[in-house]
Amino acid sequence: MPLRTASLESARRLVSWQFTETAGVNRLTRISDSSGGFLDTYAEVAQYPCSFSAFPITPVERENTFTVQTVAYWRFLFPYDADVRATDRLTVGTRSFEVVHAGNPSIAITLQAICQEIT
């Protein structure tokens, strides 16, 4: 049986207390350069209240030119109607994250985004 609208709104209000941070959403924009190619830039399109925490998955390691990088995942929760997409970048204070997945669970109470921190 689907949730009634009043129950859904009540659940959304209940979870909103955990949104203790504000994230700027930066969307990828491609600009043509003078060589016939493109430059990738990110422009802020919105700010949303959110919360985030380490995602309970084992971090992976990547080889970088001279070092091994550890890549950890973070789970962000936003209001259910936030416009956050895969490949967006999030900025919280001085920290930046790249969204690798974003979507609502079966009952749209919050929007969840899984991100990698950009260091």
Q: Any idea where the domains of the chain sit in the sequence?
A: 5-118
pLDDT of residue 101: 92
10-residue stretch averages of pLDDT, the chain, 119 residues long: 76 89 95 86 96 79 63 90 94 95 82 90
Structure tokens at 43: 């422009």
Per-residue pLDDT at 67: 66
Reduced to 3 states, what is the DSSP secondary structure of residue 22? Answer: strand
State the CATH class of domain 5-118.
mainly beta
What pLDDT score was predicted for residue 75?
A: 94
pTM (2 d.p.): 0.81
Identity at 61, one-letter amino acid code: E
List the one residue out of 18, 21, 20, 16 whose CA is nearest residue 94. 21
Both tokens of residue 78? 């936003």
Q: Rounded CA gap, 44 and 22, in Å?
A: 13
